[in-house]
Amino acid sequence: MPLRWWSNIFYRVKKSPFIWSLKQQSKLGLTIKKEKKMKRTIIIATLIIAAGTSVFAAPGKSKAPKAAAPTVSFTDVPADKAFGVKTEAEKTVVIIYDQYGNGIFKDVVTKGLPAEKSYNVSALETGDYTVEIKSEKSDVKKQMHVYDNGQGKSYLFVQ
């Protein structure tokens, strides 16, 4: 009798719908397909995360040209009432604006040759001005304050 009892349990388990459905799935290869899909999904997710982090991890070389040193500069002039502009071989223009942004003076320093030129500020009224030097490779702006020192007009570049 005990053998029969165990055999009945074994027979019932074998015939149960849950186990039977797993057997059917394995016969049809469904569980294997699910496992392959899951593996493929995990691999793709890992690759996407790795690619995303590698893009932001190390910045690549910039394709933008590096900023060159200005090829134009302000120079000192022995006269107290003037300032100078020195440029390398490129087209350069000097523009002086008043405090309201109106262009009051424009001069072409050179059209492609190295040059140095000075500008007298004694004819300007007392006040604040902007001096802009435009060239092909660089653009320099400085604020200038013109004042009366008792012996005539003088200037001061504000930094």
Indicate whether 53 and 110 sit together in one domain. Answer: no
Do residue 15 and residue 53 come from a single domain?
A: yes
Q: What is the DSSP string of 19-84?
A: HHHHHHHHHHTHHHHHHHHHHHHHHHHHHHHHHHHHHHHS-----SPPPPPPSEEEE--SSTTEEE
Residue 66 lies in a domain: no
pLDDT digits (tens, 9 = 90+) for 45-94: 888 888 777 666 656 566 655 555 557 888 888 877 888 888 887 888 99
Judgement on whether residues 106 and 82 belong to the same structural domain of the protein: yes
Any domain includes 35: yes
Could you list the residue range(s) of the whole structural domain that residue 80 is in? 72-158
Mean pLDDT of 10-34: 53
Residues 44, 97: one domain? Answer: no
* This model's pTM is above 0.85: no
Domain boundary (10, 29, 57) is at: 57
**67 lies in some domain:** no
